[in-house]
């Protein structure tokens, strides 16, 4: 196989539409095309590694391999790089329509983003936050609500149980815990309904599952939740702002991380190139996409399993892998930015953090890059997403604004701008933040989770043992997959 250097061949070998056809054809069909087809077999582009999906994970894997001297083609179905990180804009300021936060322990994201010249801003924690759940409404400062004694005792007991069990999970193999089968057979809803002390605390923990995993707690098992907590250090880490996973945002937006990596990869990146088929043989792998055909030694599939299963594999994937993907759907989230002239909540003494019942049930403040302008970010998650994802942006805007008014009064009635992103409606992602394996999936098919299938390696945050579902996990998985491949090239 001829290995071309990464940057030398695109201008001359990027296939025309006609060449693409040649690449996708069998030799018999090439003959049918007549003499003009004869040269086309040369138009299959050869690289060391094809990476599929230009999200943070795919970009990082491609960058690592490229820096190590391997030639790479990074194929992205969408017309932009970034995956579940995406630029939006409100009131003239760039915002993250997808992942936005950084928290302590996310060391690779820290390193990579600093290398790209990005800086961070603290998530505002000055003022009072609001919780209004299960008939109990109160305001509090700092991270831990000042709960009534009985509620606090139940809260601490629930936290201790979850933290203890989560700490026992091996994040590389959550199915290996002695109680894995038990925990994978019970939904989070059932476990929480039956094991937490009060109605409010039960509602609070189910709310936390919804907020963190963006999935209805009935749709995942206790094992998946424990794994997710363990993978992201702890339950308290995941739900905390200061000291936790929501501590800081990136000035200008976290979406810049994959965007800048993709820009640096230059001609190796092929946008609007959805992959249709991955064919392996004894010598290598042929990746056929709309827009071209690539031949490589190895391929890294850096899209979530729910999307990876929509690629056609030849030979077919093992049953274990296929069934794992069938049972590993995406979470569901809609992220809504509502921009205001003034941060009226600050003037009222609030942080902007609100946790309450409704279809847009979590608010955070967004300082719009310290521009002096402000927005509230509202999240819809789980079941609510399916009620809103297929409606218009205007309908969602009207609803979200009405909910802000319900919480803060008429001060919130007149936003100056709005934007949102319904990830479940995004045809190349079909959900977010990440993969949430269904009950019984880990213990039956977990082994196939991120194990390579011959020349196919799996990346994406969804495959990461650490910070699964987070951008840190995406980068870590990209690093791990790149290493797997590099060791075999």
Choose between 71 and 424: whose C-beta lies nearer to its own copies.
424
286 is a contact residue toward its own copies (CB under 8 A): no
The two structure tokens encoding residue 318: 């093992």
Q: Can you tell me which of 221, 293, 353, 464 binds its own copies, judged by CB under 8 A? A: 221
17 is a contact residue toward its own copies (CB under 8 A): yes
Cβ within 8 Å of residue 80, ≥6 positions away: 86, 259, 271
Least spacing, CB of residue 411 vs its own copies, in Å: 32
430 is a contact residue toward its own copies (CB under 8 A): yes
Question: Considering Cα of 124, then 145, then 381, then 182, what sign does the dihedral take?
Answer: positive
**337: number of Cβ within 10 Å:** 25
**481: number of Cβ within 10 Å:** 30
Between the alpha carbon of residue 9 and those of residues 59, 267, 271, 273, the distances in Å are 20, 9, 17, 18
Q: Can you tell me which of 5, 18, 342, 395 binds its own copies, judged by CB under 8 A? A: 18
326 is a contact residue toward its own copies (CB under 8 A): yes
DSSP state of 438: P
Dihedral pair phi/psi, residue 27, rounded to 5°: -65, -35
Least spacing, CB of residue 31 vs its own copies, in Å: 9
Q: Can you tell me which of 274, 358, 397, 483 binds its own copies, judged by CB under 8 A? A: 274
Choose between 269 and 422: whose C-beta lies nearer to its own copies.
422
Between the alpha carbon of residue 139 and those of residues 12, 144, 153, 407, the distances in Å are 63, 11, 19, 12
Interaction with its own copies in 296-315: which residues (CB under 8 A)? Answer: 306, 309-310, 312-313
Contact 250, 256 (CB under 8 A): yes
What SS3 state is found at 364? strand
Contact 466, 230 (CB under 8 A): no
329 is a contact residue toward its own copies (CB under 8 A): yes
451 is a contact residue toward its own copies (CB under 8 A): no
Choose between 289 and 339: whose C-beta lies nearer to its own copies.
289
Cβ within 8 Å of residue 65, ≥6 positions away: 48, 49, 51, 72, 482, 485, 486
Q: Of 51-59, 68-76, 411-419, 440-448, which segment contacts its own copies by CB under 8 A?
A: 440-448
Interaction with its own copies in 388-407: which residues (CB under 8 A)? Answer: 389-390
Q: Can you tell me which of 134, 218, 411, 489 binds its own copies, judged by CB under 8 A? A: 218
Size of the residue set binding its own copies (CB under 8 A): 58
Q: Of 239-247, 318-326, 339-347, 461-469, which segment contacts its own copies by CB under 8 A?
A: 318-326
Choose between 386 and 405: whose C-beta lies nearer to its own copies.
386
Question: What does the per-residue mask of binding to its own copies show for 226-265, with x meaning CB under 8 A?
Answer: ----------------------------------------
Choose between 317 and 482: whose C-beta lies nearer to its own copies.
317
330 is a contact residue toward its own copies (CB under 8 A): yes
Cβ within 8 Å of residue 340, ≥6 positions away: 374, 375, 376, 412, 414, 415, 416
272 is a contact residue toward its own copies (CB under 8 A): no
Choose between 31 and 150: whose C-beta lies nearer to its own copies.
31
What SS3 state is found at 110? helix
Q: Which of 46, 13, 41, 44 is nearest to 27 (CA)?
A: 41
Question: Considering Cα of 286, then 287, then 293, then 296, what sign does the dihedral take?
Answer: negative
Cis peptide before 315 (omega within 30 of 0): yes
424 is a contact residue toward its own copies (CB under 8 A): yes
Q: Can you tell me which of 68, 438, 454, 486 binds its own copies, judged by CB under 8 A? A: 438
Interaction with its own copies in 35-74: which residues (CB under 8 A)? Answer: none
Q: Can you tell me which of 143, 163, 242, 383 binds its own copies, judged by CB under 8 A? A: 383
Contact 460, 474 (CB under 8 A): yes
Cβ within 8 Å of residue 413, ≥6 positions away: 401, 405
Q: Of 100-108, 109-117, 146-154, 184-192, which segment contacts its own copies by CB under 8 A?
A: 184-192
Cis peptide before 433 (omega within 30 of 0): yes
219 is a contact residue toward its own copies (CB under 8 A): yes
**Residue ranges that bind its own copies, judged by CB under 8 A:** 16-18, 21, 25, 28-29, 32-33, 181, 184-187, 189-190, 216-219, 221, 274, 276, 306, 309-310, 312-313, 316, 318-320, 322-323, 326-327, 329-330, 332, 382-383, 385-386, 389-390, 422, 424-425, 427, 430-431, 438-441, 443-445
């Amino acid at each position: 196989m001829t290995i071309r250097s990464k940057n030398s061949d695109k201008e001359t070998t990027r296939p025309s539409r006609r060449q693409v056809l040649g690449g996708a054809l069998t030799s018999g069909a090439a003959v049918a095309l007549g003499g003009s087809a004869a040269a086309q077999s040369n138009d299959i582009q050869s690289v060391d590694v094809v990476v599929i999906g230009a999200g943070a994970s795919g970009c990082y894997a491609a960058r690592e391999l490229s820096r190590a001297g391997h030639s790479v083609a990074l194929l992205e179905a969408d017309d932009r790089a970034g995956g579940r990180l995406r630029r939006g804009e409100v009131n003239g300021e760039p915002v993250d329509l997808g992942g936005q936060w950084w928290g302590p322990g996310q060391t690779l994201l820290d390193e990579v983003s600093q290398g790209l010249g990005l800086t961070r801003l603290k998530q505002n924690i000055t003022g009072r936050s609001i919780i209004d759940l299960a008939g109990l409404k109160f305001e509090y400062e700092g991270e831990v609500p000042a709960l009534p004694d009985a509620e606090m005792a139940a809260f601490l007991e629930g936290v201790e149980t979850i933290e203890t069990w989560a700490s026992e999970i091996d994040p590389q193999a959550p199915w290996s815990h002695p109680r894995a089968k038990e925990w994978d057979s019970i939904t989070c809803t059932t476990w929480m309904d039956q094991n937490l002390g009060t109605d409010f605390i039960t509602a609070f923990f189910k709310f936390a599952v919804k907020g963190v995993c963006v999935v209805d707690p009935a749709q995942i098992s206790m094992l998946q939740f424990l794994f997710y907590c363990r993978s992201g250090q702890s339950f308290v880490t995941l739900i905390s702002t200061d000291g936790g996973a929501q501590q800081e945002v990136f000035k200008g937006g976290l979406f810049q991380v994959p965007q800048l990596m993709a820009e640096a990869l230059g001609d190796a990146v092929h946008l609007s190139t959805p992959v249709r088929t991955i064919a392996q043989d004894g010598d290598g792998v042929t990746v056929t996409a709309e827009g071209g055909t690539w031949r490589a030694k190895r391929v890294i599939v850096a899209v979530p399993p729910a999307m990876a299963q929509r690629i056609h594999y030849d030979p077919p994937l093992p049953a274990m892998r296929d069934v794992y993907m069938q049972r590993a759907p995406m979470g569901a989230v809609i992220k809504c930015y509502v921009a205001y002239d003034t941060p009226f909540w600050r003037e009222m003494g609030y942080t902007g953090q609100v946790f309450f019942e409704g279809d847009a049930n979590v608010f955070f403040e967004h300082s719009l890059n310290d521009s002096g302008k402000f927005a509230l970010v509202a999240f819809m998650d789980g079941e609510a997403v399916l009620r809103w994802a297929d409606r218009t942006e205007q309908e969602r805007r009207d609803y979200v604004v009405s909910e802000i008014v319900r919480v803060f009064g008429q001060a919130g009635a007149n936003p100056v701008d709005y934007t949102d992103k319904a990830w479940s409606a995004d045809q190349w992602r079909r959900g977010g933040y990440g993969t949430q394996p269904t009950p019984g999936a880990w213990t039956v098919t977990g082994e196939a989770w991120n194990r390579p299938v011959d020349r196919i390696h799996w990346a994406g945050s969804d495959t990461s043992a650490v910070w699964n579902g987070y951008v840190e996990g995406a980068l870590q998985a990209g690093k791990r997959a790149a290493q797997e491949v590099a060791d075999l090239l």
